[in-house]
Homo-oligomer: A and B are copies of this chain.
Amino acid sequence: MSEQKYNVAVVGATGAVGEQILSLLEKRDFPVAELKLLSSARSAGKVLTFKGQDVVVEEATPDSFKGVDIALFSAGGDVSKELAPHAVSHGAVCIDNTNAFRMDPDKVLVVPEVNPEKIQEHNGIIANPNCSTIQMVAALKPLHDAFGIARIIVSTYQAVSGAGHKAIEEMLRQSKEILNGNADVQPDILPVGSLPVKHQIAFNAIPQIDKFTDNGYTLEEMKMVRETKKIMGDESIEVSATCVRIPVINGHSESVYVEFKNDYELEEVKSLLEKAPGITLVDDPASQAYPLASDAVGKPDVFVGRLRRDLTHSRGLNMWIVSDNLLKGAAWNAVQIAEIIVSNRNGRA
């Protein structure tokens, strides 16, 4: 039996996440029949390469999805809201990296290490969670199954690549200017491209990612709250988050406090994480080993360490969770979902 191949569209192909999706489809030897690279009108005409072949980027329109089997979206929420329904009407399954459909009760929100069974329940659109949520729930799932999570308090240390190419360029430009003795750099992208106030990101820490919501939390913080409940399938898990952008190019780090419903043993936590899929335990204080963003970049796993009993609560645990936000936090999670879709179809055939 020859392997079935699929027509694949990548929407936002020239963006930071789109590039990684393309690279992963190639590296994983994803069964691509025809590949369509789509973008805004501004980036259309650019030429990218896939498996040694030049592919011209086309402007994404409602008609772009004729004959497409799987469409991977990462071109912003507005693009997904407009075009994903057209892709679905053409028969494509959409895997959407944006915030457009994540909390839609009719759409599934999937991290393959946590709730892969939801993929089969899709209505044409499968939402990929927010980067900061993915790495946290992937690490916490085996612990939730074992001890039951009552609540989570998380502080993030997020890389600028999560805000796209322009944010990376801004951070590098500001860093160069400061290193050259210009203390008064001009911020023009971060913290939020669409908001008026800009702050320096080089050699700084900005406690705002995405817009503020009415309760004083940012949208990024509320994504961690809502998405965690939905992915874990447990509305009883309480989450409070503080999301902070720091001058790191790639790789989100998170300081996570978890309070379990039941008693736990630290050795059991380590043993569960060692066996968990997609998790690498890096936790040896004696050799100063713990996860680092610089070590996580380019790797698909979620790295966990600094595991220690909380000093303020007997069922509390503190941990440090790091992952490449463009890979497991975005492109790799999406391609994993695509691989499971393909595997399910082949199984059915």
A residues neighboring B (CB under 8 Å): 151-153, 155, 157, 172, 175-176, 179, 191-192, 195-197, 199-200, 203-208, 212, 215-217, 225, 238-240, 242, 244, 246-249, 251, 253, 255, 257, 285-294, 305-313, 316, 318, 320
Q: In the complex, which residues of chain B have a beta carbon less than 8 angstroms from the beta carbon of A289?
A: 197
Q: Are B212 and A285 closer than 8 Å at their CB atoms?
A: yes
Those 3 A-B pairs whose CB atoms lie nearest each other, nearest first: A216-B308, A238-B312, A155-B255
Q: Are A204 and B293 closer than 8 Å at their CB atoms?
A: yes
Q: Report A135 CB to chain B, min CB distance, Å.
A: 14
Q: In the complex, which residues of chain B have a beta carbon less than 8 angstroms from the beta carbon of A287?
A: 197
Q: Are A290 and B216 closer than 8 Å at their CB atoms?
A: no
Q: How many copies does the complex hold?
A: 2
> In the complex, which residue of chain B has the Cβ closest to the Cβ of A196?
B288
Q: In the complex, which residues of chain B have a beta carbon less than 8 angstroms from the beta carbon of A318?
A: 240, 242
* Known contacts A157-B244, A172-B179, A244-B157; is-contact A199 B294 (Cβ 8 Å): yes
Q: In the complex, which residues of chain B have a beta carbon less than 8 angstroms from the beta carbon of A152?
A: 312
Q: In the complex, which residues of chain B have a beta carbon less than 8 angstroms from the beta carbon of A191?
A: 288
Q: In the complex, which residues of chain B have a beta carbon less than 8 angstroms from the beta carbon of A207?
A: 253, 255, 290-291, 305-306, 320
Q: In the complex, which residues of chain B have a beta carbon less than 8 angstroms from the beta carbon of A244?
A: 157, 253, 255
